[in-house]
Amino acid sequence: MPPHEKLNYVEFPCKDLAATKSFFQDAFGWTFVDYGPQYSAFADEGLDGGFFQSDQAATTATGSALLVFYSQKLEETQKKVESAGGTIIKPIFSFPGGRRFQFTEPSGNEFAVWSDQ
């Protein structure tokens, strides 16, 4: 049973479900369970969730929340993101407490990766 009144699941719009799944499989090793042709779910990635077919994208420019990955090796993670087809929209920068970069995946959803290393 999930913890009471805690965040449990997140859903993202997705313009190209196949490309998005391929990106997350290649960059982060995710696996998916398809629920029909327009929805695919992921689990055990820090927060469970899914992608649904849509013409929209989740970006901070449109007011979306920014989900942030953690990495012990920030430069290596950035290379994996780029190799898998992600687009770096904010290169690595420092902030109080660490460093991070922001990227979009092939469907245009924005994410960040941070490190305290």
Q: Tell me the CA distances in angstroms from 25 to 2, 34, 52, 61, 64, one per residue in order.
A: 25, 14, 17, 26, 23
Q: Is residue 66 part of a domain?
A: yes
Which tens digit of pLDDT belongs to each residue from 35-92? Answer: 999 999 999 999 999 999 999 999 999 999 999 999 999 999 999 999 999 999 999 9
Q: Is residue 44 part of a domain?
A: yes
Place of tokens 């449990």: 8
Which tens digit of pLDDT belongs to each residue from 16-30? Answer: 999 999 999 999 999
Q: Is residue 25 part of a domain?
A: yes
Quote the domain boundaries for residue 15.
9-115
Count of structural domains within the chain: 1
Look at the chain and count its residues: 117
Q: Is residue 102 part of a domain?
A: yes
Q: Is residue 63 part of a domain?
A: yes
pTM value is: 0.95
- Phi and psi angles of residue 66, each rounded to the nearest 5 degrees, phi first: -105, 115
DSSP one-letter string for 20-42:
HHHHHHHHH----EESSTTEEEE
